[in-house]
Chains A and B, each alone.
Chain A
């Protein structure tokens, strides 16, 4: 069966600086992958490269078996990939409902699993704030809205950068619960976060980056059995 996403020898550059040095990564349908590593190791760049947001990229990227190297981010998004960027990125001038419905479109199979009522069911807090502008939301509500907006595109692959960064513990707990629901719906995800224990609890696979190279790719239990790797690359 064809993998949902396949990256081979992926390299990315910002100007003269090379950030990713030949990443190989495969994502199966419905698989939840935790992308971990210290700051500056290339996690965000990898997500951005998969989304087509890093122009200077080399290597193969296949989505549903089709080559997406050189494709524009909007084209990649329409083929079923959604990004929840670091720092959220709600559109402040639009209301909660407008932020959600602007992104609404059926998935590649023509089905709309994620609809406005479904998002409000997932995040009841957003339903209460439906008429408020994006700039009037708290940090946690903004993160809920950004995840909800990405789901409204009915993606097959969701890329979430710094899922719970800067959020209060209760809100972070809400986000982890949501990631569980998304997984049960069969949406593949790549989640970046610093909360190693929460990631280990939800992920099918852990992928660890160090200086733009994959240094571990396997199940959480296998990584937990290598304390020297965790100590060297995560400091835990």
Chain B
């Protein structure tokens, strides 16, 4: 993801301000908007997870909703009918299941490139969709209810009551901050640089000694596990899972969030989720044909802001990329040049 020397406002003040607003939000707005904010954060984590492979890895996946929905189904299947499940058991199980399936799909899909990779991931996603749609073990096309939200109980003490929207919001906020931290660390690590290098030029990255397939597979697996983390909390929020959670449409929505927010940063897709879901909220309340208008706005954003809505920030504060240098500004080294007989 592109690096440039950003101003301290961008690196420190702005994130601190956003965090302060996020922490204060539940005390400032009605409960409906707290639930809306939780939904934005959850889908934002899904979009950020997807962006690890799309933005950093250059691999457009259309099966990330399958990992998202699968984790939700793991929670639904592990939950007792009327009693709450243990968060300590079901959360790792859901994330590991999503990561394991991502590992298997990635191991096969990453042998292809470009449009073929897109088609293979789409096919795997649809396979999982139809597995849950047609099989009876998880409620078939009707889906399954999670009647009691999972709880965190340690030594008989109930530490978290996820039934309370306020508690749920803060848990999801903590998960989002954790996801941002993890992804930032990954992107800035040699692993992240190698992933970006493979995206820019796979052959050159391999010639530098990077095992590209393994690096991409690790990224795909981590991304799938993180999508599963988002799916787990989505299932808790809605109290219900349905095959549509795994479908390609949900994958495409996450991809649109990535495109709106911009591929080049970790948090861009989170902003993309806020913009897309916020747009839907406003348009739904105003227009009957809101999807048509939403589509036109999304097309306009993608055409006018190819780097996503985050592109508006440097325009707003007047930051600009430095121009490429010219070789006539490169001074020769003071060290002695070889006697080549010419300059």
A77 touches B343 (CB 8 A): no
Query: A159 to chain B: closest CB distance in Å?
Result: 9
B340 touches A136 (CB 8 A): no
Q: Which of B26-34, B35-43, B197-205, B254-262 contacts A (4 or more CB under 8 A)?
A: B197-205
A77 touches B206 (CB 8 A): yes
| Interface mask (A212-226 → B, CB under 8 Å = 1, otherwise 0) | 000000000000000
Query: B288 to chain A: closest CB distance in Å?
Result: 43
| B325 at the binding interface (Cβ < 8 Å) | yes
B321 touches A136 (CB 8 A): yes
A89 touches B338 (CB 8 A): no
With A73-B207, A94-B196, A138-B330 in contact, is A202–B338 under 8 Å at CB?
yes
A201 touches B338 (CB 8 A): yes
Query: A224 to chain B: closest CB distance in Å?
Result: 12
A95 touches B333 (CB 8 A): no
Query: A167 to chain B: closest CB distance in Å?
Result: 7
Q: Count residues of chain A with CB under 8 A from any CB of chain B.
A: 54
B325 touches A89 (CB 8 A): no
Q: Which of A19-27, A61-69, A96-104 contacts B (4 or more CB under 8 A)?
A: A96-104
Contacts of B203 in A (CB 8 A): 53, 73
With A170-B343, A177-B335, A177-B336 in contact, is A93–B209 under 8 Å at CB?
no
Query: B98 to chain A: closest CB distance in Å?
Result: 28
8 Å CB interface, A107-151 against B:
124-125, 129, 131-133, 135-141, 149-150
A93 touches B332 (CB 8 A): no
8 Å CB interface, B203-260 against A:
203-212
| B337 at the binding interface (Cβ < 8 Å) | yes
Residue of B nearest to A168 (CB): B327
| A92 at the binding interface (Cβ < 8 Å) | yes
Main secondary structure of the interface of B (DSSP, over half): loop
The listed residue (A137, A174, A195, A202) touching B332 by CB distance below 8 A is A174
Contacts of A85 in B (CB 8 A): 204, 207
A197 touches B327 (CB 8 A): no
| A228 at the binding interface (Cβ < 8 Å) | no
B3 touches A98 (CB 8 A): yes
The listed residue (A74, A99, A137) touching B325 by CB distance below 8 A is A137
Query: B160 to chain A: closest CB distance in Å?
Result: 39
Complex CA–CA separation, A82 to B223 (angstroms) = 31
Query: B188 to chain A: closest CB distance in Å?
Result: 8
B3 touches A138 (CB 8 A): no
A82 touches B208 (CB 8 A): yes
Complex CA–CA separation, A132 to B321 (angstroms) = 9
Complex CA–CA separation, A174 to B253 (angstroms) = 51
| A57 at the binding interface (Cβ < 8 Å) | no
The listed residue (A102, A169, A176) touching B193 by CB distance below 8 A is A102
Complex CA–CA separation, A83 to B209 (angstroms) = 10
| B156 at the binding interface (Cβ < 8 Å) | no
Complex CA–CA separation, A138 to B324 (angstroms) = 6
Chain B: residues with CB nearer than 8 A to chain A?
Answer: 1-5, 190, 193-194, 196-197, 199-201, 203-212, 264, 321-333, 335-343
| 13 intermolecular pairs with C-beta atoms under 8 Å apart | A53-B207, A74-B208, A78-B209, A85-B207, A93-B2, A93-B264, A94-B196, A101-B190, A102-B193, A129-B325, A132-B325, A138-B324, A153-B209
Chain A: residues with CB nearer than 8 A to chain B?
Answer: 51, 53, 72-74, 77-78, 82-83, 85, 89, 91-95, 98-99, 101-105, 124-125, 129, 131-133, 135-141, 149-150, 153, 167-171, 173-174, 176-177, 180, 195, 197-198, 201-202
Q: Which 7 residue pairs of A and B lie closest in terms of their CB atoms, listed nearest first?
A: A77-B209, A102-B193, A198-B340, A138-B325, A140-B327, A168-B327, A73-B206
